[in-house]
Amino acid sequence: QSSPPIQQGGPCLEMDICRAKGSSPGFKVALLGASGGIGQPLALLLKMNPLISVLHLYDVVNTPGVTADLSHTDTSAVVRGFVGKDQLEASLQGMELVIIPAGVPRKPGMTRDDLFNINAGIVRTLCEGVAKCCPNAIVHIISNPVNSTVPIAAEVFKKAGTYDPKRLMGVTTLDVVRANTFVAEVLGIDPKLVKVPVIGGHAGITILPILSQVTPSSSFTKDEVLYLTNRIQNGGTEVVEAKAGAGSATLSMAYAAAKFADATLHALKGEAGIIECAFVASQVTELPFFATRVLLGRNGVDEIFPLGPLNDFEREGLVKLKEELKASIDKGTAFTAKK
């Protein structure tokens, strides 16, 4: 028998002097890996989102403390904590959006693929829980290597008979956030004004910023293109090296994940015209998954936009990235088949 979740609310709940009639209308969101470097700041940003009425925090450690702390913030979302694998299913019941940053991060000298052996199994187990307890939820995968963990999730859902490609998304928003920031620096303008489509996947050369399609329309010198492409592709490694063994991007990732979650929830509510880049099941190339600009809607991914016109440099980048991305996708797909 698993112990009950840690509830938001102080002694007034137990003393029966709480006048709450239940949670306000809004979305129910679960965060799996909530005690980690990404999980904690992301939990805070989600708790501040007025579209969320219930926030479930699940991790294998430390959620009681994170939940108690967060529950004292005066925003309306109700927060509940769940700890240990016995409480995974309870954390997922009734959830409409599940965000997964659970797993180990890189240390200097590692590639994202070096995380596969540990994170593949974690993502598989968590997605088995999703398939069982909230099969209609939208799922955002953050755990690396995203190029393989998204195919793993897809296979788990296929096996369970719950797969809907519209509802499964690999989170590549950090690549876009970085690209917007670095391009704005070069152009000398406010990053809020900049939109850079980033396509492909989420590792090294599979991250391909399409600088020829930047908004506002801008031209770059050859040196600027090389500098920007290299910096965007290696943004994660830049942070891993600066943190010198203490992990990878957490604050910028929490910001990016909160932004993507907010866009997804606005679209679920019925708001029109919400476009984001994400790594999804796709037919824009011969690969089964690919990151491009997608239109989000009431059911998740409503439309996948084509790549649009690419210049020679981008076309070359596309050819190179497909080989590496295909291998990572195949590795993820094969992992679940092996079980």
Residue 266 a catalytic site member: no
Burial 253-291 (b: 16+ CB within 10 A, else e): bbbbbbbbbbbbbebbeeeeebebbbbbbbebbebbbbb
Among 101, 129, 197, 332, binds ligand NAD (CB under 6 A): 101
Among 133, 174, 210, 301, binds ligand LMR (CB under 6 A): 174
Residues 6+ apart with CB under 8 A from 315: none
Among 56, 80, 112, 166, binds ligand LMR (CB under 6 A): 112
Other C-beta atoms closer than 10 Å to the C-beta of 129 total 20
Q: Is 336 in the site for ligand LMR (CB under 6 A)?
A: no
Window 219 to 258, contacts with ligand LMR (CB under 6 A) = 235-236, 239-240, 248-249
CA atoms within 13 Å, Cβ hemisphere of 252: 18
Q: Which residues are annotated as a binding site?
A: 33-39, 59, 106, 112, 119, 142-144, 178, 253
How far, in Å, CA of 254 to CA of 46, rounded?
9
In this complex, which beta carbon is closest to ligand NAD, that of residue 90 or of residue 187?
Answer: 90
Tell the smallest beta-carbon distance from residue 198 to ligand LMR (Å): 11
DSSP 37: T
Q: Is 213 in the site for ligand NAD (CB under 6 A)?
A: no
Contact 31, 57 (CB under 8 A): yes
Window 23 to 42, contacts with ligand NAD (CB under 6 A) = 32-33, 35-39
Residue 234, class by beta-carbon neighbours within 10 Å (0-12 exposed, 13-18 middle, 19+ buried)?
Answer: middle
Tell the smallest beta-carbon distance from residue 1 to ligand LMR (Å): 38
In the shown chain, the binding pattern of residues 41 to 70 toward ligand NAD, with x for contact by CB under 6 A and - for none, equals ------------------xxx---------
The closest residue (CB) to ligand LMR is 236
Which residues form the catalytic set?
A: 202
